[in-house]
Amino acid sequence: MRQAWASMNSAVLTEASLTENNRESTPSHDYPAHLAAAAGALRAESIDFSYQSGKASLEIFRDLSVVIPRGTTLGLFGPNGTGKTTLMRALARLQPVNGKITSPLANVAAGKPRLGCVPQGYARSFYPWASLEMNILFNLPDPFRNRAGNRNTVRDVHDALGLDLDLHRRPSQCSGGMLQQGALIRAIARRPDVLVADEPFSALDFEVAARIRTAFARTVAELRICAVMVHLRAARARHFPKDGSSARANPKLSQS
């Protein structure tokens, strides 16, 4: 059985066994009541996922439960093929699974949670004919009627993450690391209820990645986002800060 581990920057620490056969199962975990009752938490209750490969049924995970309170990040890490991205997509309700997933709602009237996403293939997620700024603005609410307000939001997120990007560049004029930073801005600027990110720092050098990880954790806490992040190696998840206390708060971001 191959395993992926899950770590959360809160009081919860859980092991998620993502199996490739149906001979072993992952037990449900009992979480503290104050976390389970957290307002608007992202919850998965006894979820299962498997798929058919020829005549065989391959089980990816079974009877898996987790609670992600607002303002925290769940990190999934392990070798390739253990179901990390599948679980991340399931928690974002992008992948149908058996069981129950409850998403938080900042705006109950909207009827569904707002999602932010940093895909693994981030470089292919930009319109090549538009600037980075326009690519980000296209993904925000009312991109044409609220252009000035959205531009301020983009700049606030850019500054909160401690970036130094030329947002007027087109994707073809950007390195992979620049595009990955643009994808992070795009996901956070949506003010999402749930944010999923697949190896979001993989194209960044060590020092830049360390700085942005700290700023990302602080921003998730300030905006009360339920975040799920995939890491290929455990070391990256362990180096992820447990909270944003080591970084200065950004009043523009938290008040806007």
- Tokens representing 47? 């979820």
C-alpha torsion sign, points 17, 18, 22, 26:
positive
Angle of the 147-160 helix axis to the 176-189 helix axis, nearest 10: 120
In this predicted structure, what is the pLDDT of residue 1? 38
Domain of 242, CATH number, reads 3.40.50.300
In this predicted structure, what is the pLDDT of residue 241? 47
The domain total for the chain is 1
* Cα 110 from Cα 87, distance rounded (Å): 25
Give how far Cα 173 sits from Cα of 2, 97, 105, 216, 249, Å: 40, 40, 37, 25, 32
In this predicted structure, what is the pLDDT of residue 127? 95
In this predicted structure, what is the pLDDT of residue 236? 52
In this predicted structure, what is the pLDDT of residue 136? 95
* Cα 24 from Cα 18, distance rounded (Å): 10
- Tokens representing 107? 């705006």
- Residue 188 and residue 117 in contact, taking contact as beta carbons nearer than 8 Å: no
In tens, the pLDDT along 161-175 reads: 999 999 999 999 999
In this predicted structure, what is the pLDDT of residue 24? 33
Helix (H, G, I), strand (E, B) or coil at 73: strand
- Residue 165 and residue 132 in contact, taking contact as beta carbons nearer than 8 Å: yes
Whole domain around residue 133: which residue ranges? 4-255
Low-confidence ranges of the chain (pLDDT < 70): 1-39, 106-111, 232-256
Q: Which residue has the tokens 């009360």?
A: 224
In this predicted structure, what is the pLDDT of residue 56? 83
* Cα 163 from Cα 167, distance rounded (Å): 11
Tell how far CA 183 is from the center of its chain. 11
In this predicted structure, what is the pLDDT of residue 7? 47
In this predicted structure, what is the pLDDT of residue 146? 83
